[in-house]
Chains A and B, each alone.
Chain A
Amino acid sequence: MKDMDEKLLRELSSISLSRLYLSGMLDNIAASAAEALSADAAAILLLDEARETLTLRACRGLSSEAANNIRLPKGKGVSWRIASQRKPVALARVRDDPDFYHIPQTGEDRFTSMLGAPIMLGENCLGVLYVQTVGPRDYSEDDTALLQEIASLAAGSIQAGWHIERAQEKVRFLTALNDMSGRVSSTDDFIQISGHVLRCAAEIIQARTLIIWTAENGLPSLKHFPEATGDPEYLRPVRDGLITHVMKTRVAVKIDDIAVESAFAGLDRVAQKSIICHPLLLLDEVHGVLLAADRVSKPDGYFAPFTQEEFSALSDIAQVAAQAIQRSKAKQELASALVRNERNARELSILFELSVAMQQAYNFDDLLAVILSCVTVGEGLGFNRAMLFLVNENSETLQGILGLGPDTGEDAAQDWKKTTDQLKTGPGLIPWLLNRDLEEIKRKKFNAFATSLTISLSSDNALARAVRSHSPVNIASSSDMSPDDRLFAYALGCDRFAVIPLIARENAVGAILVDNLFNDKPITGEDLKLLTRFSAPTAWALENMRLVDRLSRTNRDLITLESRMAQVERMSALGEVSAELAHEIKNPLTVIGGFARRLYQKPGGEAGAGYAEIIVREVERLEMLLENTLEVTRGQFDNRRPVNLNQLVREVADLYWRVMTEEGIDMKLDLASDLPLVNLDSAQIKQALINLTINAVEAMSCKRHKLSRKLRIATSRTKDNSPGVVISISDTGGGIAPRDAPDIFNPFFTTKPTGTGLGLSLCRKIVRLHKGVMEIDNRLGVGVTFTLTLPNEA
């Protein structure tokens, strides 16, 4: 017996030391026990974690399928008595025992006797070991002692087995964790990181659901991963309750049964039973929260609380996840810092090249071309289109000076290719900037549009705002727009644009407008910063050029003043206007005076009554004349009545038809058929039209004029459909020289040897008296269009 003991103990300890899995060990113990006690069968049943069932884990002499499939519910059978009383039981005939509980299909109905012992580890019962024989058998005390010995050795083996299993579990966990940290390191994409984290957690933890919430400014964002887990709105209560709590307290939470836990709302939206939840915490910064819900218990599949091991495993996973997110953020910051650095370097080089080019630009036009080329070229600031405006202090407006940009997408692609080729093969950026084909730039429609713009500094246009506030304005979306901007954006054809003021000597001298119409690239804060830095040297260069210009202008103004004095003198002697008036007055005066003398010389004559009547009528005529003159000077009209503007235009056209033909001018009338009748003083308006027509004819009739001579008079309704009319008179007379443009409305200003200089000022006066607007679109080298908008004033 002793020999046998020694052999058995060696065998058993070799089993416990072996690296077999627990089930293999238990099989061997069962076999050894059956052999040692010369029994026909042996079985080992182990209590589960919850101590609710005894499960058959190994057997000898019973049906092989029985292992792991036989479960004894609590209190059933002799085995449960052994486990709960923790005492061995020896039964010669087991059926005679009151606790006998037959389990079918195990094959144990073949056996009669039973000797069982609890498997004790210290005070803790792990399960039951028993042997059986076919025939009845009375077990000796030695037998019982031997079985107890085997059971206690089995306990050690089971514990060792558990340790091994746990160690293996740990190895599996660490392997998975290591694998995960390797995978998460390979990407900076947050969604991919989350994917790896969740896959790893799913391998280690038997959870029904795993979710990550990300942090935004220290609070959980509405977004979670994987997004398929549920609608963010549906999970909002969870986020606002538990997740926010974990993120704020930075302490993990373990909930074994959500039915009992009442501190957080809406937990039933993610779980049915249990939850564990860890902050993704690294160096005092929370990057998110990792949640696992409903531990799936094996092998039954019901939902159980998470074990402490799983709780700490999830903590380790959260740690690795936090590191990965932190690293990804740091890397992104580094990347953007690198981009910033690169930008700074590029910025310096652009500013340098620009200042060199500006110093070399030798007249105003070249300077403008250099500035806008720098703003638009890819090697420079890279905007699609740019416009330059200068402040006109006299009229308090911003005047479009130059626009640089392609007219169409095709145009843009061609320009881009051409520029790239030129820069690649040419001598470099500075010479390229200085040798732009200004005429080509000016030919584009975009330039025509830019130079047609005059914006009041008191308006609510983005340009005016930028100049007034001395700070950039970025129209990133329609919500940034004033009503003026909306109209402007419509004309520009682009909803997103930015304006920087050009400031020199603390004065705004102008502004640059940029947009990205063709590639639709948003204008970022960085873009604006660079543009602002670029604006300072630009403003100074413009200001210097302007000072030179102003000096020569002052000089010229003196000359203009001199010639104007001469003209005023000429006028005062006997001007053309007063000549007209004199004739009108002189005739009635002659008549009145003449007949009055006759009456005086021949009082009481037959003809006396007739003379008096003539005198009365002529005096009335004089009064009327005087009244009309006063009306015009006072700005009142009594002669307004509904007028068909087209009719007036035709009358004027008829008057000048012959002159036009002689001068070789192609006159075209473009009259809208749906023109409403408008209350106008037809004589006054006709006068204005005549003046404008004469101006146009004279502009085109000078000898050195080489453009085709075209006069177009067009009428239309006002654009806003208000009951008003618009008339425009366009010529191809080459436009008004920029140096003359500011003066054209001044009375007595004229460029013609015989002009009075009253024509345009009178026109403007007439239009203003009608509460209308007179606009001028001056295109140098092309011609001028005067546009009169006349409202229907009662």
Chain B
Amino acid sequence: MKIKILVVDDEENIRLLYKEELTDAGYEVDTARDAMDADKKIPLFRPDLITLDIKMPGMDGLEYLRKFREKDKTTPVVLCTAYADYKRDFQVWASDAYWVKSSNIEQLKTTIKEVLDKARKPKEGKAQG
């Protein structure tokens, strides 16, 4: 079964780009255009990882992350943003990774892989032990 990734971003072309790239990389990808859309899709799609844009209309990524973590403590979340300044924000600590948007999607893929590996190890360890 393929690993599922939910891409949450308000920009249509960003969503399309991520979807194509991540699909090519062997993931099953669904997209949501904002926090509300994500809330609807998560229970149905049950993603293994979420990429979350910070700057979105309505509820922004950081706020959504806080809400999401109240319900779900384990599903990894990669924050995506246009600039690096948010690294100083303590709310970012609630995420598993922080990716500064770039046309080089390879970095995003690497990050996703690392995060997934990190998340799976404790799980596997638990299952084995």
**Interface set of A (CB-CB < 8 Å, partner B):** 574, 579, 582-583, 585-587, 589-598, 607, 614, 617-618
Contact between A592 and B14 (Cβ–Cβ < 8 Å)?
A: no
Q: Which of B84-100 contact A (CB under 8 A)?
A: 84-85
Q: Which residues of B contact A614 (CB under 8 A)?
A: 13, 16
Q: Which residues of B contact A592 (CB under 8 A)?
A: 103
Contact between A597 and B104 (Cβ–Cβ < 8 Å)?
A: yes
- A594 and B55 alpha carbons, distance in the complex (Å): 19
Contact between B103 and A597 (Cβ–Cβ < 8 Å)?
A: yes
Known contacts A583-B83, A587-B101, A594-B17, then 5 further A-B pairs from the complex at CB < 8 Å, ordered by chain A residue:
A579-B83, A591-B13, A591-B103, A593-B104, A595-B17
- A203 and B78 alpha carbons, distance in the complex (Å): 126
- A592 and B103 alpha carbons, distance in the complex (Å): 7
Question: Which of A587, A593, A595, A597 has its CB near the most chain B CB atoms (within 10 A)?
Answer: A587
Q: Which residues of B contact A618 (CB under 8 A)?
A: 13
Contact between A590 and B21 (Cβ–Cβ < 8 Å)?
A: no
Contact between B101 and A586 (Cβ–Cβ < 8 Å)?
A: yes
- A583 and B14 alpha carbons, distance in the complex (Å): 13
Contact between A593 and B85 (Cβ–Cβ < 8 Å)?
A: no
- A592 and B104 alpha carbons, distance in the complex (Å): 10
Size band of the interface chain B makes with A: 10 to 19
A587-B11, A590-B101 given; A598·B16 CB < 8 A: no
Contact between B14 and A590 (Cβ–Cβ < 8 Å)?
A: yes
**Interface set of B (CB-CB < 8 Å, partner A):** 11, 13-14, 16-17, 20-21, 55, 81-85, 101-105
- A283 and B49 alpha carbons, distance in the complex (Å): 122
- A496 and B105 alpha carbons, distance in the complex (Å): 79
Contact between A590 and B103 (Cβ–Cβ < 8 Å)?
A: yes
Contact between A593 and B11 (Cβ–Cβ < 8 Å)?
A: no
Contact between A591 and B11 (Cβ–Cβ < 8 Å)?
A: yes
Contact of A586 among B20, B82, B104 (CB under 8 A): B82
Contact of A579 among B21, B85, B104, B105 (CB under 8 A): B85
- A589 and B81 alpha carbons, distance in the complex (Å): 13
Contact of B17 among A579, A585, A590 (CB under 8 A): A590
Contact between A582 and B83 (Cβ–Cβ < 8 Å)?
A: yes
Q: Can you list 15 pairs linking A and B with CB atoms under 8 Å apart?
A: A579-B83, A582-B82, A583-B55, A586-B101, A587-B14, A587-B82, A589-B101, A590-B14, A590-B102, A591-B11, A591-B17, A593-B102, A597-B103, A598-B20, A607-B20
- A497 and B114 alpha carbons, distance in the complex (Å): 83
- Which B residue sits closest to A617, measured CB to CB? B13
Contact between A589 and B103 (Cβ–Cβ < 8 Å)?
A: yes
- A595 and B55 alpha carbons, distance in the complex (Å): 22
- Which B residue sits closest to A578, measured CB to CB? B83
- A590 and B99 alpha carbons, distance in the complex (Å): 12
B66 → chain A, closest Cβ, in Å?
21
A618 → chain B, closest Cβ, in Å?
6
B105 → chain A, closest Cβ, in Å?
5
Contact between B82 and A594 (Cβ–Cβ < 8 Å)?
A: no
- A489 and B105 alpha carbons, distance in the complex (Å): 72
Contact between A574 and B83 (Cβ–Cβ < 8 Å)?
A: yes
Question: Which of B16, B81, B102, B103 has its CB near the most chain A CB atoms (within 10 A)?
Answer: B103
The 7 A-B residue pairs with the shortest CB-CB distance, nearest first, are: A593-B103, A586-B82, A583-B82, A594-B17, A591-B13, A590-B101, A582-B83
